[in-house]
Amino acid sequence: MSLLYNSALIGIYFMAFAMLHSTLAGSWAKEYARRRWSLFGRRYRILYNLAAVATAIPLVMVLLFLEDRILYLARPPWLYLALAIQAGAMLSMAYSLKQMGASQFLGLAEEAAGEGLVVRGLFCRVRNPLFLFATILIWATPVMTWNLLTMNLLITAYFYLGSVLEERRLSVQLGGDYQDYRRSVPRFIPRPGRCYRQDAHFPSSRGPSRR
């Protein structure tokens, strides 16, 4: 099979994966699961995460077994630089998850009623730190292949579109407070020396509902 055919195959499956992932994250799907099967809160979140992992496995298999071509291979000292950037990105992702409420995000704990998100730390500088550092992680790879390039482009586009859709929902749900936060804080790229200082609290649905 040609590399272009492989890219098309990856693209088709990824779009199906993204549509399923976004649909299950939607409020109507959660409401249907609650009414139909009494699935809500942490139980729904656990099943949602398991479904995401299960449907991502074929993507990994595609990258491993489809015909591919190496585009570049970083060697020292660039290899060490790439690995250091990836390590920093993973630590920043872990810190972002902690600020969002990692236990609630993973479905290991129920979301506390009335709990809010304090806008400080990474969230005072960018609105989507988890997406930002996940993007840095995938692009700082020391080995790039044709199939991986295709996947990274699709993932990057999905992160952007996902953030747009999520913020529309948050603007409707949270109203003026979140809209002020969105006007003041960039989506991905931080402004040097700028941090959102207002002691603002938003309903906790933001953290656990983030894709």
Each residue's pLDDT tens digit, 14-71: 999 999 988 888 778 888 888 887 777 778 888 888 999 999 998 888 888 899 999 9
More confident residue, 97 or 203: 97
CA pair distance 121, 126, nearest whole angstrom? 9
Return the minimum-mean-pLDDT range out of 5-9, 138-142, 205-209: 205-209
Residue 100 CB burial class (10 angstroms; 0-12, 13-18, ≥19) = buried
Q: What are phi and psi of 127, to 5 degrees?
A: -80, -25
Contact 90, 137 (CB under 8 A): yes
Overall pTM > 0.85: no
Looking at every residue in the chain, the average pLDDT score rounds to 84
Residue range 104-118: mean pLDDT, rounded: 61
Residue 207: the pLDDT is 43
pLDDT at 86 over 90: yes
Residue 131: the pLDDT is 95
CB atoms inside a 10 Å sphere around CB 180: 14
More confident residue, 1 or 172: 172
Segments making up each domain of the chain, as ranges = 3-209
Instruction: Give the domain 3-209 fold.
Output: Four Helix Bundle (Hemerythrin (Met), subunit A) (1.20.120)
Parallel, antiparallel, or unpaired for β 201-203 and 70-73? unpaired
CB atoms inside a 10 Å sphere around CB 112: 10
